[in-house]
């Protein structure tokens, strides 16, 4: 088995590699989205706290 035949995936390479790509993108989104949302929430809470102190 050569690298080329492995990457070709028996003629199904487009579907296989597309599936891997989509899966990787979803996993990365699930990793980074909560981090970004947490930063936004903390920023909003800090602004509300500053307004309340005035």
What is the tens place of the pLDDT at every residue in 14-53? 999 999 999 999 999 999 999 999 999 999 999 999 999 9
Count of structural domains, the chain: 1
Q: Output the six-digit token pair for 54.
A: 């005035």
Reported as a pLDDT band with limits 50, 70 and 90, residue 6 is confident
Q: What is the pLDDT of residue 1?
A: 75
Tell me the pTM: 0.69
Q: What is the pLDDT of residue 7?
A: 86
Domain span including residue 44: 3-53
Task: Collect all residues with Cβ–Cβ distance below 8 Å to 9 and sequence separation of at least 6.
Answer: 16, 17
Q: What is the pLDDT of residue 17?
A: 94
Q: What is the pLDDT of residue 54?
A: 83
């Amino acid at each position: 088995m050569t690298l080329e035949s492995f990457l070709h995936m028996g003629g199904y390479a487009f579907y296989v590699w597309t599936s891997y790509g989509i899966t990787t993108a979803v996993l990365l989104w699930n990793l980074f989205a909560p981090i970004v949302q947490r930063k936004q929430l903390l920023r909003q809470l800090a602004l509300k706290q500053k307004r309340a102190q005035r």
